[in-house]
Copies of this chain bind each other. A is one copy, B any other.
Amino acid sequence: MPAKVDLAAGKLPIDATFGVASDTDARLAPAVKRFLARVARQTGIFPAPSGTAATLHIACAPCTARPVLGEDESYQLDVTPSGANLKAATVSGALHGMETFLQLIQPGPEGFQVPAVHIADQPRFAWRGLMLDCARHFPPVEVIERNLDAMAAVKLNVFHWHLSDDQGFRAESKLYPKLQQFGSDGNFYTQDQMREVVAYAAARGIRVVPEFDIPGHTLSWLVGYPELAAGTGPFEIGRHFGVFDPVLDPTREETYTFLDGFIGEMAALFPDPFFHVGGDEVNGKAWKQSEQVQSFAKAHNLNDTLALQTYFNQRILKILQKYGKNMVGWDEIFGPDLPRDAVIQSWRGADSLATAAGKGYRGILSAGYYLDHARPAAYHYAVDPLAGPAAQLTPEQAAHILGGEACMWSELVDAETVDSRVWPRTAAIAERFWSARELTDVDSMYARMEAVSRQLEWTGVTHRSSYGEMLGRLAGARPVEPLRVLADASEARGLGTGRRAKDTETPLNRFVDAARPESEMVRHLELAARKADPADLTTLRGVFEVWAANDVRFQALAEDNALLEEVRPLSKDLSTLGVMGLQILDYLGSGKPAPADWLTAQSKELTRIARPSAEVLLAGTRPVKILLDALAKR
């Protein structure tokens, strides 16, 4: 939602004569080309080769070669029935304006069109990011790139690239090739690919902040370089998840020599001045067990794990400064003597963010934006970087809060499923970072999110198309329809909300992987159940009839199919739910009250059905509950 929108009368038609005239700029020119290709994809109309008029004029001064934190991202878009003007101070602003223009293209009475409108827009926060964990499961470059396109579409401007963790080292080092040779199972990004991703992102107004998580979460480093460890190897790539004991040894000079070389090498690949060093979840066990570490600690008065990590951070900080980088780290880096140019990423809660800001540290919020928890978009939308403890800050202190990042940890997503876990929910988080804090109406957010979700398909992300393919795989040679009916009414649970993550080798090909974290269809049914107009009740009846009849068909489909075995009870419950829904509608239609014991029995049954099964929630219980509550109130 833009900061300021004034609709005017009339429409600008988008047809084969559509064209763009723009100021010349090394980043703007290819962006205009991509923009025209998007117009073509969205409308199916390709500019006539005979030449096109300049319908949209884009003005923006020549800019830096890449986006910069805090640059002026504002834009003004004026559309009239005869043409459109887009003005911005920077290429980033112009890119945002072009995305807004694309969102405005809709079919209308004379074909595709953009409404006449004046928009003056700018973001609330300067740091609007998405973190992708590419260590626990490895997404090839094409997955990264299509997600960068989708990020640009919702005006996110930071790609936080989590490149190493216990389960994999994903960046090619030429200085220390055993990092990827022994730590990646062959799944890593070459230096050329990393340069390509950085350029691809910059072209779309997105900064790339690489993360190499140290001194913990480093098992994959230690396979090739066991000498870096506090304690002795051999080490193996982590296959399971959680916090592992082995960590880097902060007391040996060789560790810092290694890291100096490595960070120097990576700093040259990633031009952004921010460099993420992780720093989370060091349990200290390996340090306590190491004589070398303990004697060093005693000699230097480093009394506990925190003191040791602070010492480590101080050393790393000097290395980063040498290469002109600002340190970014998770909550845990916030210790005494942390220099003021460091940036804290809060994942354990908003308190640490506010505390740090109060002390003059810059911070970004990620607590509340964990996509792997598979929570509804409304949950994330309600989280604001300036709410809660941050609301008590002075304006000057609050200004240290740069924004936030959605986090996609990859215990339970792979290249096939990651898009459907990131999108469309991240669009709601992106709006939280961009738009007014006062914008909190959930229904209107969902209306926008659904429209954006459909538009995101044109950027190449597969959050919608992979659904049918994955269901088709589960159905095998049999007709998929009963499975789709069940999946449409289901929601996948996430890490910490009912889903277990076993190890990196467990296939992510189950029903729960195909099902979405949030069902658009069920949300529509909830709206219908709340409104309960005659047309709504007809819609609900139709759906309940399908549910009621579905189990017979589903059980035939699931016969002799090990992959569907676990959701057979879920299917049975869906049909129960359908029958219950029909009975409630009958009572509502008859105008007669339902017997109290019948109501109690249904309520009990609903509670049972609402419990997760096969790591999935039968979201279809929600509209039925709304109707049952309405009936009970009569």
B507–A16 contact, CB under 8 A? yes
For the complex formed, measure the closest distance between the CB of A566 and the CB atoms of chain B, giving whole angstroms. 12
A501 adjacent to chain B (CB < 8 Å): no
B560–A549 contact, CB under 8 A? no
| Given A107-B563, A505-B16, also A542-B538 (CB < 8 A) | no
| Given A468-B464, A542-B545, also A46-B507 (CB < 8 A) | yes
A451 adjacent to chain B (CB < 8 Å): yes
A196 adjacent to chain B (CB < 8 Å): no
Interface string of A40-70 (1 = CB under 8 A from B): 0111111011100000000000000000000
Interface string of A491-528 (1 = CB under 8 A from B): 00000000000000101110001000000000010000
The 6 closest A-B pairs by CB, nearest first: A44-B509, A49-B185, A107-B476, A106-B476, A465-B465, A45-B507
> For residue A563, which residue of chain B has the nearest CB?
B107
For the complex formed, measure the closest distance between the CB of A633 and the CB atoms of chain B, giving whole angstroms. 29
Interface string of A543-565 (1 = CB under 8 A from B): 00110010000000000111110
> For residue A111, which residue of chain B has the nearest CB?
B562
A563–B507 contact, CB under 8 A? no
Interface size class of A (residues with CB under 8 A): 35 or more
CB-CB under 8 A from A111, the residues of chain B are 562-563
CB-CB under 8 A from A472, the residues of chain B are 454, 457
Interface string of A166-187 (1 = CB under 8 A from B): 0000000000000000000110
| Given A16-B507, A505-B16, also A44-B470 (CB < 8 A) | yes
Q: How far is the CA of A44 from the CA of B474 in the complex (A)?
A: 10
A341 adjacent to chain B (CB < 8 Å): no
Q: Which of B464, B479, B509 contacts A43 (CB 8 A)?
A: B509
Interface string of A76-119 (1 = CB under 8 A from B): 00000000000000000000000000000011111110000000
Q: How far is the CA of A542 from the CA of B550 in the complex (A)?
A: 11
B-contacting residues, A407-435, CB 8 Å:
414, 416
For the complex formed, measure the closest distance between the CB of A101 and the CB atoms of chain B, giving whole angstroms. 15
B185–A473 contact, CB under 8 A? no
Q: How far is the CA of A107 from the CA of B549 in the complex (A)?
A: 24
A549–B538 contact, CB under 8 A? yes
> For residue A477, which residue of chain B has the nearest CB?
B451
A629 adjacent to chain B (CB < 8 Å): no
A351 adjacent to chain B (CB < 8 Å): no
Q: How far is the CA of A35 from the CA of B92 in the complex (A)?
A: 43
